[in-house]
Structure 1
Amino acid sequence: MYQKLGNLPEFRTRPSRPFLKAGVDYAGPYNIRASPGRGQKTYKGYIALFICLSTHSVHLELVSGYSSKEFIAAFRRFTSRRGFCSDIYSDRGTTFVGADKELRELFEKSTAFIDTVFRTLVAEGTNWHFNPPAAPHFGGIWEAAVKSAKHHL
């Protein structure tokens, strides 16, 4: 007997311009120094990892935090370098794991972030798609890229 595998979505198998359809995930935190040398202070930073869903190319952007302004700045740097994205896919984040009370508080905090990001993406014509809840296997392609980036850093 052989295991039956499901078909990949059409956007993963159809050839297209690189990063027309992309996935995004955060990796980190990492300690970042502004300049080398003794006595230099470090600060916490993250890596926004963008992966092309048809060519599997990876683009890394350094981000100094989780706020909407910092992500939008990283997204604008990404699109200015790689071009317009028609669709972006992401997971719902690991912050939504906890008690029901904490989930509600986090959701209320994240709505401002999501609204700000959505307004920016709609202005550029980009559609944002979230994975279903409790389905981490939907984002396996960018989770594998995060593992690879962590290995090489």
Structure 2
Amino acid sequence: MMLATIDNPSNAVKWTMAEMINQPDILAKACEELDRVIGKNKLVQESDLSKLNYVKACLKESFRINPVGTRIWDEPLRFKPERHIVDEVSNVSLVDHDLRILSFSTGRQGCPTLELGSTTTTMLLARLIQGFSWKQPLDTSTIDLAESKHDLSLAN
């Protein structure tokens, strides 16, 4: 359980940050939300997470973009966090009980650490965005997020 708590959030955040770096306008919007909600003089706290809908929408979009099941989304290969924000007052949740995305599972057999995983993942992403200036590597215009064509299971 502890391995999943540490490994899954870091992997989710890695993919989310790569997607956001490839689309600087999305990264800028997340930075703007953090500046507006938290400010520049304090770090994100757990009590702030419920107010960070755009940051959570970015994570949810990262979970959605490579689903286990059939792609049921408009523009399925486009990273578009706005699709998860219903309105200005609704709270974005990383859980999708309709199983259009699989983040932490659902139901009685769902992840027993659902709240911990959601909190850890959101906190990690928010603090990384808040604490650093992000941009694409100097030698490339985008981060390549295509699947590897190599079988990594045979690597030594």
State the TM-score bracket (shorter-chain normalisation): under 0.3
Q: Which has the larger radius of gyration?
A: 1
Bigger strand share: 1
Greater relative contact order (CA < 8 Å, ≥ 6 in sequence):
2
| TM norm structure 2 | 0.27
